[in-house]
A and B are shown apart, each in its own frame.
Chain A
Amino acid sequence: MTPHAGIRHPDGTEASTSEVLLVEPSTLSPARRMATTVLRSRELSIFLVLVAVTVVATLKNESFLFSADGWRNFWVNPSLLLLLAVGQAVVVITRNVDLSVGSVMALTAYLTGRLFIDQPGLPIVAVFAICILAGAVLGLVNGMLVAYFNVPSLVITLGTLYIYRGIVLSWAGSDRINAGDLPSDFLALGNKAILTIPVLTIIAMAVLAAVGYYLYTARGGREFYAIGSDPDAAVLYGLNVRRRVLAAFVLSGALAGLVGVLYTARYGTVSSGVGSGIELQAVAAVVVGGVAIFGGSGTVWGAAIGAFLLVTINRALPSLGIEDFWQRAVVGVLILGAIVLDRLLANRQARKLAEAREMTT
């Protein structure tokens, strides 16, 4: 029996619409509706900020964009944070948070180096695979603890942040990976470009596109939102909450693992301190990107733009003649601005609902 059966019923369908109604069913055409939602979207607003920053910086100093290095860095630098932000966004949408990404990234970054040193024969693809897997496993640990004991992820991942970092430190000790230890074609990956777009960026964008598409069009994707919006209701709906939460953390871990490899390819040197503090940047990117910190709403597109914006601002400030000591302050203002903006948009929608009710009265 299809779910449609219900409406094929010779019955009150003709019921007068003279009921106590809240909001008229939208009469906009799908196209118009799409247009308006895009125009109103949070994503657009911060995308415009990003464009503005880039334009101003480029006007000040056109090598910001129009030099081989400038162009490359414009794309490469945000890529790592972007990947972390995508994973973080999915976790946050399920009303969780993953603070351990920095430590996971450090683990796999060092692992990458060790693999190349200890298993010289190993093909680069294999290294990627191993590190992504390793990240996924670490994410799985987070997910297990959160989903099966249902305890707050903030606490769990704060704990694993310490633990994973501790493991890196004990493992690496004061040993470090130097560019010299790494195969040159792996290092080249950090700067290779296809049609002037760096490979790192292409990888990041591909991941972003895949995750974004899944979240919007797959049942599973929608369930992430449902779970984040009201976990208890999700259980009553018969959604498999545990599996989804688990999946979110595994994804976040796997992406952090990937970032570890890419970090090594890009920076060539790895010490045990890699990525400390980056977890807050990732959360910041997500927040700036308009993902509600308490889950249920927001998109990975927004998170990605948020990451891009944070990094680009940092790159732009010096060109704008702002001493780099002030960068963190500017980022702070940016975050606050973003969430205040969210609130304003939300209030506007609420006012609309009120007016809509006004109409019917």
Chain B
Amino acid sequence: MTGSSTPVLELRDVSKSFGPVVALRAGSLRVEAGSIHALVGENGAGKSTLVKVVAGVHRRDGGDFLLGGDSVDFGSTSDSKDAGVAVIYQEPTLFPDLSVMENIFMGRQIVGRGRRIDRAAMYAEAEGLFGRLGVDLDPRRPARGLSIADQQIIEIAKAISLDARLLIMDEPTAALSGVEVERLFAVARSLRDEGRALVFISHRFDEVFDLCDTITVMRDGSYVATHRTEDTSSPAIVAEMVGREVADLFPKTPAEIGEPVLEVEGLQSRGVFHDVSFTVRRGEIVGLAGLVGAGRSEIARAVFGVDGYDAGRVRLNGREIRRRSPRAAIDAGMAFVPEDRRAQGLVTEASVARNVASVIRGGLARAGLLTTGAENRAAGPWAGRLEVKTNALDMSARTMSGGNQQKVVIAKWLATEPDLLIIDEPTRGIDVGTKSEVHRLLSELAGQGMAILMISSELPEVLGMADRVLVVCEGRITADLPRADATPEAVMHAATRQLEVAG
């Protein structure tokens, strides 16, 4: 980065607190035109907060905020838009009732004669955007019912259509598959070549090093260091992020495999998945791989009884499980850590104790009476075992960072001492430190004889953790690979098999 030219974006010692919570104490960032700048840091490091300050969602408490050299102070996101800043937020924010097209253009619709909005023009442009991203979404379809992946793609289309001089992407790839990530990167590079500035936040180092030319590290809400990509390496970055050396990311310790725990036969749900059959054995970690939108979550949800299914049967320890009843699944010994922890995993407004005890509280009642004391006594040890960071059990989980929340979710399910743990995207949006803890925990549990079904969009994670990899493609299981044969090539081949047949 040539210090001479004025940077597009410059932040110096920006701070932001939410009441007593200091989210950002001294955030600094300097982004040059024509560069892609990575922002990395553990969960809760303050990345998203920093982004939201730039976007005008939050007003900074202190520090300097310069855009194109002159100091600015955004009161709302419309200010930042007008200043040419486009942001992809960490959580997709769409209007479910409106069409995909309206979601992209809301607030800045193309208007024709008499300020009437010009739908035709916008449909055309939306289709153009999707063409450019290489996805095939109907702009007229309502946003309701889209998978996280599809929602993320709309966010991206929205952002690039803004044609901004500064594009900030907060973990855009968290829900995306390899193909889509590649397309996104292609677009990102082309934008950079146009001379725009991009900020890219991700917990996946392969992506960071693949895409970005500069990396800024944050820790505990403060700026740590900035490096040119070629001058550094991921272990170095990781060390700076955590401030300590991190153990091997995928410490899978082989456990001896026992008798089948979960047996799924001919599971089918119209429009989502078809004759899905597989088993998971005691002590075994089965990875469910596939492109996003392949239907893995749907399969998991059906097995656990959150969704219904049209045909097939699910058996746990030989006993058939009533369909469409999570309660039945839980009582039979299943646990399910869902994909979206804020919406599905936690009651974020409720206390840590309530959340951790929420599944087992039925057993905590004495003489039919359930007391907060009983809940705390039951929840404390599990929260402790997962090293949840909170200073009291009656804190709400709302303001915790992603990783910490994930720990609460896992604690809540381990408290049920299940025979089978289904875990969907165990480390989506979780920092390396917590990530390795989670992986260590999983293999430890497997070692103790728990059967684990793990869904992940991160191939390295699947290959690293799983004893067996099932590949899902368009709602069908297209491969069942033992750990030995599970090479990236094999998995990707199976994950795209039918597509090739089709194409």
A touches B (Cβ under 8 A): yes
B461 to chain A, nearest CB (A): 20
Whether the Cβ atoms of A13 and B270 lie closer than 8 Å is no
Partner-binding segment picked from B38-46, B76-84, B316-324, B405-413: B76-84
Q: Which residues of A contact B339 (CB under 8 A)?
A: none
Whether the Cβ atoms of A7 and B125 lie closer than 8 Å is yes
Q: Does A326 count as interface, using CB distance less than 8 angstroms?
A: no
Partner of A232, one of B93, B110, B139, B271: B93
Q: Which residues of A contact B77 (CB under 8 A)?
A: 235-238
A216 to chain B, nearest CB (A): 9
Q: Does B294 count as interface, using CB distance less than 8 angstroms?
A: yes
Q: Which residues of B contact A210 (CB under 8 A)?
A: none
Interface residues of A in 1-47 (CB under 8 A from B): 1-7, 9, 11-26, 30, 33
Q: Which residues of B contact A355 (CB under 8 A)?
A: 270-271
Whether the Cβ atoms of B93 and A18 lie closer than 8 Å is no
Whether the Cβ atoms of B163 and A1 lie closer than 8 Å is yes
Whether the Cβ atoms of B106 and A19 lie closer than 8 Å is no
Partner of B95, one of A17, A22, A217, A230: A230
**Contact of A230 with B81 at beta-carbon distance under 8 Å, contacts A11-B186, A18-B502, A350-B145 already known:** no
Partner-binding segment picked from B59-67, B130-138, B240-248, B378-386: B130-138
Q: Once bound together, how far apart are the Cα atoms of A41 and B475, in whole Å?
A: 32
Q: Which residues of B contact A217 (CB under 8 A)?
A: 116-117
Whether the Cβ atoms of B292 and A20 lie closer than 8 Å is yes
Q: Once bound together, how far apart are the Cα atoms of A297 and B142, in whole Å?
A: 11
Whether the Cβ atoms of B94 and A230 lie closer than 8 Å is yes
Q: Does A239 count as interface, using CB distance less than 8 angstroms?
A: yes
Whether the Cβ atoms of A230 and B136 lie closer than 8 Å is no
Partner-binding segment picked from B96-104, B206-214, B439-447: B96-104
Over the window 247-270 of chain A, the binary record of Cβ atoms lying under 8 Å from chain B Cβ atoms (1 yes, 0 no) is 000000000000000000000000
Interface residues of A in 203-217 (CB under 8 A from B): 217
Whether the Cβ atoms of B93 and A233 lie closer than 8 Å is yes
Whether the Cβ atoms of A222 and B102 lie closer than 8 Å is yes
Closest chain A residue to B109, Cβ basis: A219
Partner of A24, one of B95, B111, B138: B138
Q: Which residues of A contact B272 (CB under 8 A)?
A: 354, 357
Q: Which residues of B contact A110 (CB under 8 A)?
A: none
Q: Which residues of B contact A195 (CB under 8 A)?
A: none
Interface residues of B, dominant DSSP: loop
Q: Does A218 count as interface, using CB distance less than 8 angstroms?
A: yes
Closest chain B residue to A1, Cβ basis: B163
Whether the Cβ atoms of B109 and A222 lie closer than 8 Å is yes
Whether the Cβ atoms of A3 and B106 lie closer than 8 Å is no
**Contact of A20 with B270 at beta-carbon distance under 8 Å, contacts A7-B128, A233-B95 already known:** no
Q: Which residues of A contact B179 (CB under 8 A)?
A: 19
Whether the Cβ atoms of B78 and A238 lie closer than 8 Å is yes
Q: Which residues of A contact B96 (CB under 8 A)?
A: 229-230, 296
B161 to chain A, nearest CB (A): 5
Q: Does B499 count as interface, using CB distance less than 8 angstroms?
A: yes
Q: Does A225 count as interface, using CB distance less than 8 angstroms?
A: yes
Closest chain B residue to A292, Cβ basis: B97
Whether the Cβ atoms of A16 and B503 lie closer than 8 Å is yes
B494 to chain A, nearest CB (A): 14
Q: Does B344 count as interface, using CB distance less than 8 angstroms?
A: no
Q: Which residues of B contact A30 (CB under 8 A)?
A: 120
B478 to chain A, nearest CB (A): 12
Closest chain A residue to B142, Cβ basis: A349
A285 to chain B, nearest CB (A): 20
Most B C-beta atoms less than 10 A away, residue of A1, A2, A217 = A217
**Contact of A3 with B95 at beta-carbon distance under 8 Å, contacts A21-B135, A26-B138 already known:** no
Q: Does B366 count as interface, using CB distance less than 8 angstroms?
A: no
Most A C-beta atoms less than 10 A away, residue of B97, B183, B291 = B97
Q: Does B141 count as interface, using CB distance less than 8 angstroms?
A: yes
Q: Which residues of A contact B131 (CB under 8 A)?
A: 7, 12-15
Closest chain A residue to B292, Cβ basis: A20
Q: Once bound together, how far apart are the Cα atoms of A17 and B499, in whole Å?
A: 10
Closest chain B residue to A21, Cβ basis: B136
Q: Does A118 count as interface, using CB distance less than 8 angstroms?
A: no
A18 to chain B, nearest CB (A): 4
Q: Once bound together, how far apart are the Cα atoms of A16 and B179, in whole Å?
A: 12
Whether the Cβ atoms of A12 and B97 lie closer than 8 Å is no
**Contact of A15 with B183 at beta-carbon distance under 8 Å, contacts A238-B76, A297-B97, A354-B270 already known:** yes
Whether the Cβ atoms of A219 and B138 lie closer than 8 Å is no
Q: Once bound together, how far apart are the Cα atoms of A357 and B127, in whole Å?
A: 19
Q: Does A353 count as interface, using CB distance less than 8 angstroms?
A: yes
**Contact of A229 with B132 at beta-carbon distance under 8 Å, contacts A3-B162, A222-B102 already known:** no
Q: Once bound together, how far apart are the Cα atoms of A55 and B94, in whole Å?
A: 44
Whether the Cβ atoms of B95 and A229 lie closer than 8 Å is yes
Q: Once bound together, how far apart are the Cα atoms of A322 and B101, in whole Å?
A: 49
Closest chain B residue to A10, Cβ basis: B190
**Contact of A296 with B134 at beta-carbon distance under 8 Å, contacts A222-B109, A361-B474 already known:** no
Q: Which residues of A contact B116 (CB under 8 A)?
A: 217-218
| A–B Cβ pairs within 8 angstroms, 26 of them | A3-B161, A6-B160, A6-B162, A6-B163, A7-B161, A12-B183, A15-B134, A18-B503, A19-B136, A25-B127, A25-B137, A217-B117, A223-B107, A226-B98, A226-B102, A230-B93, A230-B96, A232-B93, A233-B94, A233-B95, A234-B95, A236-B55, A236-B77, A237-B107, A239-B107, A350-B145
Given A1-B163, A226-B106, A239-B106, 7 more pairs with CB closer than 8 A: A2-B163, A9-B190, A12-B134, A222-B98, A222-B102, A225-B95, A229-B98
Chain A residues in the interface with B (C-beta under 8 A):
1-7, 9, 11-26, 30, 33, 217-219, 222-223, 225-226, 228-230, 232-240, 292, 295-297, 350, 353-358, 360-361
